[in-house]
């Protein structure tokens, strides 16, 4: 059974600007954000996931994006060390949650930035890892050493797609969705060579964060308005579920960012 970590949006808001989607003059509407988050939460339970919660904290508006808590690998978690000080304050909150829930917490050297599952996703036995905008390439090498798995660093070149999970979504071992313009040409080649079934996300849907999808078995939960991508998924045998998450797009997030898979993604071979 899928086990997912989320954090209620009690203190969610646009209080600073650390990516091109965020503008303090375009704040989140709390009631709508709550409603959208609730629908995601209900949907995930409905398709068979167990959802656990990190208690929200005042002053940490981005804590809702639990994908960035760390990288979970079996009973271990490599804790994130955020690039921006505004988000570094989330680190002790996530650390405490993992410790009280039976995870062994590993930390990277403090001079390396690493933003967890936002930038590191398994497809099969291999960990695909985005770097340059948030996480450091060297951090990924350290992660590879700690977990003893092959890690393929992918350079992210478009500031709108600043985390790997905004432009890449593993569906199953050997199968994924990606948005090519988010990657440098070398990374595009690596993805094409290493993942036999690669689906290209159309531009329009990529900018609605269609790649930022939660996969549970054959269900794929993603932001409303990604109709072309939904059709591609249906043709590949998946059942897309579109729910409005535009209040979170204002912070540069969508379905996947709001979740952290604690038991290994469907696409991961642990
Ligand atoms: N405002 C947050 C940030 O810029 C959004 C994080 C989205 N998370 C993700 N995994 N893509 O850090």
Total number of domains constituting the chain: 1
CB 261 within 8 A of CB 117: yes
Helices (H), 101-153: 137-147
CA 211/CA 96 separation, integer angstroms: 30
Q: Which of 251, 260, 261 to mutate to test the pocket of ligand 1 (most atoms within 8 A of CB)?
A: 251
Q: What is the pLDDT along the chain (270 residues), one digit of tens a residue?
A: 999 999 999 999 999 999 999 999 999 999 999 999 999 999 999 999 999 999 999 999 999 999 999 999 999 999 999 999 999 999 999 999 999 999 999 999 999 999 999 999 999 999 999 999 999 999 999 999 999 999 999 999 999 999 999 999 999 999 999 999 999 999 999 999 999 999 999 999 999 999 999 999 999 999 999 999 999 999 999 999 999 999 999 999 999 999 999 999 999 999
Three-state DSSP at 235 gives helix
At 9 the pLDDT is 98
**Which ligand 1 atom lies nearest to the CA of residue 163?**
11
At 225 the pLDDT is 98
How many whole angstroms from 209 Cα to the centroid of ligand 1? 12
At 46 the pLDDT is 98
Catalytic (active site) residue 163: yes
CATH of the domain at 263: 3.75.10.10
| E strand segments, 36-167 | 50-53, 70-73, 76-79, 104-106, 120-123, 126-131, 151-155
Of 140, 163, 167, 169, catalytic: 163
Produce one character per residue of 213-252: b if its CB has 16 or more CB atoms within 10 Å, e if not.
bbbbeebbbbbebbeebbebbeeeebebbbbebbbbbbbb
At 185 the pLDDT is 98
Q: Which residues pair with 196 in a beta bridge?
A: none
CB 195 within 8 A of CB 187: no
CA 180/CA 206 separation, integer angstroms: 10
Task: Please choose, from the candidates 143, 58, 62, 54, the residue with its C-alpha nearest in 3D space to the C-alpha of residue 107.
Answer: 143
The answer to whether the CB of 77 is under 6 A from ligand 1 is no
CA 64/CA 258 separation, integer angstroms: 6
Q: Which of 114, 130, 163 to mutate to test the pocket of ligand 1 (most atoms within 8 A of CB)?
A: 163
Phi-psi region of 132 (alpha: psi -120 to 50; beta: other; left: phi over 0): left
Catalytic (active site) residue 211: no
Task: Please choose, from the candidates 52, 56, 51, 42, the residue with its C-alpha nearest in 3D space to the C-alpha of residue 13.
Answer: 56
At 138 the pLDDT is 98
Q: Which domain holds residue 219?
A: 3-267
The answer to whether the CB of 86 is under 6 A from ligand 1 is no
């Amino acid at each position: 059974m899928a086990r997912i970590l989320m954090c209620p949006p009690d203190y969610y808001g646009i209080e600073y600007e650390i990516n091109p989607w965020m503008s303090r003059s375009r704040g989140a509407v709390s009631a709508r954000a709550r409603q959208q988050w609730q629908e995601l939460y209900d949907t995930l339970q409905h398709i068979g996931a167990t959802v656990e919660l990190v208690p929200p904290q005042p002053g940490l508006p981005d804590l809702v994006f639990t994908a960035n808590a760390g990288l979970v690998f079996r009973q271990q978690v490599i804790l994130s060390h955020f690039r921006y000080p505004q988000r570094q304050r989330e680190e002790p909150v996530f650390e405490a949650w993992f410790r009280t829930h039976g995870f062994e917490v590993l930390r990277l050297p403090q001079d390396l930035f690493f933003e967890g599952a936002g930038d590191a996703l398994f497809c099969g036995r291999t960990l695909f890892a985005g770097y340059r905008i948030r996480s450091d390439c060297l951090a990924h090498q350290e992660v590879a050493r700690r977990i003893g798995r092959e890690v393929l660093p992918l350079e992210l070149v478009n500031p709108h797609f600043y985390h790997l999970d905004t432009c890449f979504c593993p569906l199953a071992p050997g199968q994924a969705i990606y948005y090519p313009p988010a990657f440098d040409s070398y990374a595009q080649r690596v993805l094409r060579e290493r993942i036999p079934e690669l689906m290209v996300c159309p531009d329009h849907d990529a900018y609605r964060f269609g790649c930022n999808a939660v996969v549970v078995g054959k269900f794929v939960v993603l932001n409303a308005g990604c109709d072309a991508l939904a059709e591609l998924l249906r043709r590949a045998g998946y059942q897309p579920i579109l729910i409005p998450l535009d209040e979170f797009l204002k912070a540069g997030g969508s379905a996947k960012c709001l979740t952290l898979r604690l038991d290994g993604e469907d696409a991961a071979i642990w």
